[in-house]
Structure 1
Amino acid sequence: MSRIDPVEPPMPFSEPVLALSTEMLGRLMPMFLWLDARGRIRGMGPTLARIVGPGAAGGDFARHFTLRRARGVEQSREAAFSGRRLGLTLVRYPMFNLRGLAVPLGPGEQADVLVNLSFGIQLSEAVRYFGLTEADFAASDLAMEFLFLAEAKAAVLGELTALTGRLQLAKAEAETEAQLDPLTGLANRRAFDAAMSHAIKSAARGRRNFALLHLDLDYFKQVNDTLGHAAGDTMLVRAAHVLRDEVRRGDLVARLGGDEFIILLRGPVERGMIESMAERLIARIEEPVSLDGVDCRISASIGVSIALECRPILAEELMAEADAALYQSKRAGRGRWTIAPLRFAPRPQA
């Protein structure tokens, strides 16, 4: 029979003793805190020492730190430093909280304690406040990488916010320009249609009536054909200035195209006020303008349509009434105003 030799039991394993100098420990853990059994500070990492200030070594723990919490411990301070997660506050800088893990360096309550600390979620504030750099952290510590990522994210978000703001401003400017006549700066047809729709809805709710003044320049073609388009543009811009100057703040003046303008008089409106405005508009537009030594004279014909509260309001109907009244003024001799349904104002005698 074969013989099996017995296996000798292994030798008992003894853990090696690791000796580190304070300098070496500081390179590994720049925020370490070394306490003896009586709570005196025996050493600190270089970063923590710079933050706490000179003269801390050999001093009492409570002079420089406040123990806020020791997870799972509601006993004495000494018991709190027995392998527990800690929360500390700097006495000199109470706005900063530290978190860490305490590890006893030997058996029994008389053993020294090593605590590795960090700023936790206050890292970015601490870096800025204390002027910390990458050299103040362990080479293997990812704190700075996370901080760089957070700052990069903040920078990107800031740039995106600024870009969004610029895009919104550009969009608003584009929308504004899309509703303006480029020559006169008045509202264009698109802006007028939107204002007209709003006025109709407001009147339908019984809030206020309104009126339309459809205006066309008389003798404008002769100026354009005789003196050129530049002179014609000058007369258009001047007419736009007169219209804008005569209306109220809440009214809308629009150029529909060519020498055709329209005014939306937001309510409440009265016939007497409309008649006075039409007369002033015609009188001011008829004032001569000197261009290159030549007196240019134009006039204006106006057709008025008033939205009445006693009947349904349709945009097409109001525009048709104002247009018909305008051409009635033209046929009656120009330089006059007509209020639909075709009540004419005679041209004043010269």
Structure 2
Amino acid sequence: MDGDHFQPDFTLAPGALGQLMPMYLHLDSDCRIRAAGPTLLKLMGTDVIGADLRAVFSLRRPAKLRHAHDLAQAMRLRMNLRRAPGTGFKGVAVPLRGAEEVLVNLSFGYAVREAVRDHGLSDTDFAPTDLVIELLYLAEAKAAVMGELAKMNLRLRSAKQQAEEQALTDALTGLFNRRAMEQKLSLLLASGTNFALVHLDLDYFKEVNDTLGHGAGDHVLSEVGKILSGAVRETDLVTRVGGDEFILILPDLTDPAPVHQLGARILERVKLPFLHEGRPCRIGASIGAVLSADYSRPEAYRLLSDVDHALYTSKREGRGQLTVLRPDDPPSMGAEVSDAG
């Protein structure tokens, strides 16, 4: 039996139809727009009433349109607004009973997020029963959550990096600390890279603390840190390893000459008085150094022990000088001592 026998005729006012289908088009037989849903009017503009469908939309399916019923026969419609930003639609058309007119219902399909963004749409622009709003809100909620997670991850990485930097940094001078020195030493030894190890200890620093106070001593340490940082290359590492002791690691040095030159510059600069609250702080420095290339099998404990011995050789010989210790392996070459002069 024909199902139409069980379907009574009914009429919907445009307002009621717009509530059910906010993006409908009512076309006459010549494809002129007689009415449209409120959301579609928002996108097209109210001046399209009476305009030819093909003047408002570029049709992709059906590609050719002669009569409004061609839309109904196409089953599925594809079209884009001609005005920017060229929003795309999918839809379906049905013929109206007793007339040669058609009713077209459009949707955004997968491009709903872009359409909402481009046209500033809200939930009131969609039918209350349209699941696309729930899906859109879920997508937006997911994007918001993912955005917050990304921000949290960035904050955690930043906090971790800051904690790692703090763990390797001397709080007073801003130089690297003993832990950083030990890490750098291990990396260079593991890679087989040659380097110079330089140990510097301040002379007469205790007198500054005793006579001018610890504030003056802290000022001197900070200023010495600046002198050392300014005297070395970008690839070198300057560390404060405790009290008034500093260790420098200078990669790719195999000859004592540049070490002596560096030591002379540092000793000359450190001899100049440091002013603290208008009062001069006078100190000096003693320096010891070793070259990893002088060792057939350089090891951290041996290098640190020998550079410490070189430092105290400088102090024993009268301070204010640099000693480069040349070990017995290869055969002894003795210690090379130089002063600021």
- Normalising by structure 2, we get a TM-score of 0.85
Aligned partners of 2:280, 2:41: CA distance in 1, in Å?
89
Are residue 149 (structure 1) and residue 138 (structure 2) matched? yes
Matches within 5 A, 1:3-152: 14-69=6-61, 78-82=69-73, 84-93=75-84, 95-106=86-97, 111-152=100-141
Q: What CA deviation, in whole Å up to 9, does each residue of 1:146-202 have, x standing for no partner?
A: 333333333333333333323322322222222111111111012112222232244
Aligned pair count reads: 330
CA offset at residue 30 of structure 1? 1.4
Tell me which residue corresponds to 1:7. Answer: none
1:33, 1:115 within 8 Å by CA — same for their partners in 2? yes
Higher mean C-alpha deviation, range 179-188 or range 76-85: 76-85
Structure 1 residues 331 and 26: CA distance shift in structure 2, 3 A? same
* 2:60 partner letter: R
Structure 1 residues 242 and 57: CA distance shift in structure 2, 3 A? closer
Are residue 179 (structure 1) and residue 168 (structure 2) matched? yes
CA offset at residue 55 of structure 1? 4.0
Are residue 213 (structure 1) and residue 188 (structure 2) matched? no
Q: Percent identity?
A: 44
Aligned partners of 2:122, 2:255: CA distance in 1, in Å?
75
1:83, 1:103 within 8 Å by CA — same for their partners in 2? no
Q: What CA deviation, in whole Å up to 9, does each residue of 1:71-130 have, x standing for no partner?
A: xx99976444137122122223462111112223348xx743221111122223323333
2:288, 2:307 within 8 Å by CA — same for their partners in 1? yes
Q: What CA deviation, in whole Å up to 9, does each residue of 1:272-317 have, x standing for no partner?
A: 1111221222222222335567644322211111011772332222
CA offset at residue 32 of structure 1? 0.8
1:251, 1:263 within 8 Å by CA — same for their partners in 2? yes
* 1:221 partner letter: K
Structure 1 residues 96 and 13: CA distance shift in structure 2, 3 A? closer
Structure 1 residues 111 and 82: CA distance shift in structure 2, 3 A? farther
Query: Which consecutive residues of structure 2, in runs of 5 or more, have no partner in the other structure?
Result: 327-333
- Normalising by structure 1, we get a TM-score of 0.83
Query: Which consecutive residues of structure 1, in runs of 5 or more, have no partner in the other structure?
Result: 1-11
Q: What CA deviation, in whole Å up to 9, does each residue of 1:31-59 have, x standing for no partner?
A: 11122344333322222233223343333
1:119, 1:126 within 8 Å by CA — same for their partners in 2? yes
Structure 1 residues 241 and 52: CA distance shift in structure 2, 3 A? closer
Are residue 338 (structure 1) and residue 318 (structure 2) matched? no
Tell me which residue corresponds to 1:232. Answer: 217
| 3-state secondary structure, aligned to 1:34 | strand
Greater share of helix: 2
